[in-house]
């Protein structure tokens, strides 16, 4: 047998090569093995890192300097295979490699899962590109009694094999050094399948001994998925999240900011300062009823920001713990009735953070039908973080039954629509087969970075829209259009839904951003402009109501304008219809909450 090293070693390796463009390196690997962490370490760019398969569903590009050379690095969605049946996010990665957009592949592997990693190595090898194998999370592997003969494996494959613990930066220097040694690996040949080759190779270079650590992890992983312990844990998780977001965020912090900081100091100061302005129009524009400061900034910073921040914190913790995918076991049956499978729990739960992002995550679902149903349900019923918290903020103050009525109605509506969509839409659902990531204690560093970036993203995206929305309302109000809108919408808003006519403008705001509309309702409720029943009806309609502009644009991007418009129309009709029915039912039964 020829020495596998020959081909590699005989090639001259100059320190600096002249290239027409920077060397293009793709980070490829199974889902949830730490590609994004390594990407961040190499390029200095943070991409969202979580503990579930499918965090990355698009390509992220960045630059790194290795030695004296500048390289373009691409972070790719995780793949279990590059051949055969692939999900949409897997195709993104396959196409990148197939189209020759990568000249060098760095395969990242979860060291424990060497066998599956090698199956992928074998498939990458068929593209005949030079590669390196990184055995990430080598510390966790050792703790679980998995030991790998990296040197032996490197000799066998004819490529560098690097051991790494990416979050601590271990192995990164070795990876940079090894880039010049990359080679095309020896892999499955002839009649040997990828699986057989990986089986045999992993058996030769990996030993699995008794576990030395991770007993608690193991226990927790079991406790959360078994029904007897899992259901109480789920309830506890929901309750704790409610305490952090609904009580600490939506009540305590919002109270401090809205009534304290803005109500007592900032807004009175702003009004006093604006009183010196000569123009009444400018004064109103800044501090009037639809003032940029008194409405736009106050909504964005005092009402929504505390809620979004506490939510992202709680949510990031759950993401990094590995808990969310385990919910799929409990929800699989329910989702199957809706033409989906348990895997859909990921986009649905992510939708609680932001429906726009979650719409993109539907790529992890296997069939077009499933993606469409998931996108529809996200647009219809899943309230985003800010909305959820304003709901809790308003209805928490009303009564528990009020809150339960809203969630009950919205959930029932989603199940009904999903059930019908599953029967009406053509196509199939796919099998429920889902990998469960290990339970881990979230790293505070990642949690804070992630929350910080998400809050910054919120501020960058929401504040301008809040301001633009306020300016729009101001202009509409000046030209009397708000009054016209309110009277035009009166038959629906007051007649069908039984709400004050002013609620019409809140729904307009809701289309700009759901949380903006929700904040408007929050204000109305605070001002005593809504009865309890009206609050429940208005919030139910707002929750079911059209997705915000960003979400709509994302739906159009993912599924086309026709589908986007259809969803928009359908959701609007459903929202108003449900609100009307609810208003009628609550009135009929004389419910006052």
Partner 1 sequence: MWSSDRAHPLSTLRPGARGRVVRVQRDLTSRAERLAALGVGPGAMVRVLQTFPGIVIECDQTELAIERMVGGSIWISLE
199 binds partner 1 (CB under 8 A): yes
Task: Give the residue, chosen from 156, 181, 332, 477, that forms a contact with partner 1 under the rule CB under 8 A.
Answer: 332
84 binds partner 1 (CB under 8 A): yes
Of the two residues 438 and 520, which places its CB atom closer to partner 1 in the complex?
Answer: 438
77 binds partner 1 (CB under 8 A): no
Of the two residues 371 and 513, which places its CB atom closer to partner 1 in the complex?
Answer: 371
What is the token pair recorded at 14? 């100059």
Of the two residues 56 and 80, which places its CB atom closer to partner 1 in the complex?
Answer: 80
CB atoms within 10 A of CB 536: 28
Length of the chain in residues, anyone?
593
Of the two residues 57 and 503, which places its CB atom closer to partner 1 in the complex?
Answer: 57
**What is the spatial distance between Cα 25 and Cα 413, in angstroms, rounded to a whole number?**
47
What is the token pair recorded at 271? 């009004």
229 binds partner 1 (CB under 8 A): no
| Total number of residues that touch partner 1 (CB under 8 A) | 40
103 binds partner 1 (CB under 8 A): no
> Are 254 and 303 spatial neighbours (Cβ–Cβ below 8 Å)?
yes
Task: Give the residue, chosen from 221, 291, 510, 547, that forms a contact with partner 1 under the rule CB under 8 A.
Answer: 221
Task: Give the residue, chosen from 11, 126, 196, 264, that forms a contact with partner 1 under the rule CB under 8 A.
Answer: 196
513 binds partner 1 (CB under 8 A): no
**What is the spatial distance between Cα 113 and Cα 206, in angstroms, rounded to a whole number?**
10
Minimum separation from the CB atom of position 513 to partner 1 (A): 35
Quote the distance between the C-alpha of residue 128 and its chain's center.
34
223 binds partner 1 (CB under 8 A): no
80 binds partner 1 (CB under 8 A): yes
**What is the spatial distance between Cα 315 and Cα 360, in angstroms, rounded to a whole number?**
18
Which of 317, 566, 556, 569 lies closest to 440, judged by CA? Answer: 317
122 binds partner 1 (CB under 8 A): no
127 binds partner 1 (CB under 8 A): no
Encoded one letter per residue, x for contact with partner 1 by CB under 8 A and - for no contact, window 420-459 reads: --------x-xxxxxxx-x---------------------
Beta strand 60-66 with 131-136: parallel, antiparallel or unpaired? unpaired
119 binds partner 1 (CB under 8 A): yes
Of the two residues 273 and 433, which places its CB atom closer to partner 1 in the complex?
Answer: 433
222 binds partner 1 (CB under 8 A): yes
217 binds partner 1 (CB under 8 A): no
Minimum separation from the CB atom of position 114 to partner 1 (A): 8
> How is the beta sheet containing 60-66 ordered, strand by strand?
60-66, 69-75, 23-29, 104-110, 131-136, 161-163
Return the range that interacts with partner 1 (CB under 8 A); candidates 18-26, 331-339, 349-357, 482-490: 331-339
Which of 31, 29, 27, 53 lies closest to 40, judged by CA? Answer: 27
Minimum separation from the CB atom of position 333 to partner 1 (A): 7
What is the token pair recorded at 136? 């990430």
> Are 59 and 76 spatial neighbours (Cβ–Cβ below 8 Å)?
yes
112 binds partner 1 (CB under 8 A): yes
**What is the spatial distance between Cα 113 and Cα 308, in angstroms, rounded to a whole number?**
36
Q: What are phi and psi of 71, to 5 degrees?
A: -120, 145
225 binds partner 1 (CB under 8 A): yes
Of the two residues 105 and 120, which places its CB atom closer to partner 1 in the complex?
Answer: 120
Minimum separation from the CB atom of position 148 to partner 1 (A): 12
Alpha carbon distance, N-terminus to C-terminus of the chain: 81
The helix/strand/coil state of 382 is coil
Radius of gyration of the chain (CA): 27
**Residues 6+ away with beta carbon under 8 Å from 541:** 497, 507, 575, 576, 578, 579
Helix ranges restricted to H, 126-266: 138-143, 150-157, 172-178, 194-205, 215-225, 227-241, 254-255
Minimum separation from the CB atom of position 40 to partner 1 (A): 25
Return the range that interacts with partner 1 (CB under 8 A); candidates 113-121, 154-162, 164-172, 511-519: 113-121
- Interface residues with partner 1 (CB under 8 A) are 80-81, 84-85, 110, 112-113, 115-116, 119, 144, 146, 193, 195-196, 199, 221-222, 225-227, 325-326, 328-330, 332-333, 336, 341-342, 428, 430-436, 438
């Amino acid at each position: 047998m020829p020495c596998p090293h020959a081909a590699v070693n005989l090639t001259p390796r100059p320190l600096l090569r002249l290239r027409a463009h920077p060397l293009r390196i793709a980070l490829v690997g199974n889902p949830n093995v730490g590609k994004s962490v390594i990407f961040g370490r190499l390029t200095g760019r943070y991409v969202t890192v979580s503990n579930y398969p499918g965090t990355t569903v698009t390509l992220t590009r960045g630059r790194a300097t290795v030695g004296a050379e500048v390289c373009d690095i691409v972070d790719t969605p995780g793949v279990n295979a590059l051949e055969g049946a692939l999900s949409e996010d897997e195709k993104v990665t396959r196409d990148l490699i197939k189209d020759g957009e990568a000249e060098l592949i760095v395969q990242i592997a979860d060291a424990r899962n060497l066998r599956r990693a090698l199956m992928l190595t074998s498939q990458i090898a068929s593209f005949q590109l030079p590669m390196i194998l990184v055995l990430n999370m080598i510390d966790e592997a050792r703790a679980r009694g998995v030991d790998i003969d990296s040197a032996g494996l490197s000799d066998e494959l004819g490529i560098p094999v690097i051991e790494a613990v990416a979050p601590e930066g271990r192995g990164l220097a070795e990876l940079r050094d090894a880039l010049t040694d990359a080679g095309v690996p020896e892999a499955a040949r002839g009649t040997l399948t990828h699986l057989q080759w990986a089986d045999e190779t992993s058996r030769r270079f990996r030993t699995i001994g008794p576990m030395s650590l991770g007993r608690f992890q193991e226990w927790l992983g079991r406790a959360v998925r078994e029904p007897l312990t899992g259901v109480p844990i789920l309830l506890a998780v929901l309750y704790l999240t409610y305490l952090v977001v609904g009580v600490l965020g939506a009540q305590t912090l919002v109270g401090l900011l809205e009534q304290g900081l803005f109500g007592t100091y900032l807004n009175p100061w702003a009004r006093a300062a604006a009183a010196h302005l000569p123009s009444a129009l400018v004064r109103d524009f800044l501090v009037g009823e639809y003032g940029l400061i008194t409405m736009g900034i106050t909504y964005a910073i005092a009402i929504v920001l505390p809620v979004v921040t506490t939510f992202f914190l709680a949510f990031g913790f759950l993401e990094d713990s590995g808990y969310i995918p385990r919910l799929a076991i409990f929800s699989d049956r329910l989702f199957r009735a809706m033409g989906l499978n348990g895997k859909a729990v990921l986009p649905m739960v992510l939708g609680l953070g932001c429906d726009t992002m979650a719409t993109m995550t539907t790529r992890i679902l296997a069939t077009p039908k499933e993606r469409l149903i998931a996108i529809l349900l996200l647009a219809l019923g899943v309230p985003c973080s800010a909305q959820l918290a304003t709901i809790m903020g308003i209805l928490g103050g009303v009564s528990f039954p009020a809150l339960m009525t809203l969630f009950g109605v919205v959930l029932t509506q989603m199940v009904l629509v999903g059930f019908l969509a599953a029967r009406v839409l053509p196509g199939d659902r796919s099998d429920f087969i889902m990998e469960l990531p290990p339970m881990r204690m979230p790293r505070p560093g990642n949690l804070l970075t992630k929350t910080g970036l998400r809050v910054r993203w919120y501020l960058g995206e929401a504040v301008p829209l809040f301001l633009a929305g306020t300016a729009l309302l101001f202009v509409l109000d000046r030209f009397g259009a708000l009054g016209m809108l309110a009277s035009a919408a009166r038959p629906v808003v007051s007649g069908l839904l039984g709400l004050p006519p002013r609620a019409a403008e809140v729904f307009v705001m809701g289309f700009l951003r759901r949380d903006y509309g929700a904040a408007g309702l929050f204000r109305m409720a605070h001002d005593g402009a809504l009865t309890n029943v009206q609050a429940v009806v208005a919030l139910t309609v707002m929750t079911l109501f059209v997705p915000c502009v960003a979400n709509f644009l994302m739906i159009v991007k993912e599924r086309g304008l026709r589908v986007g418009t259809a969803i928009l129309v359908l959701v609007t009709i459903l929202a108003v219809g449900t609100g009307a029915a609810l208003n009628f039912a609550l009135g009929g039964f004389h419910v006052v909450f």
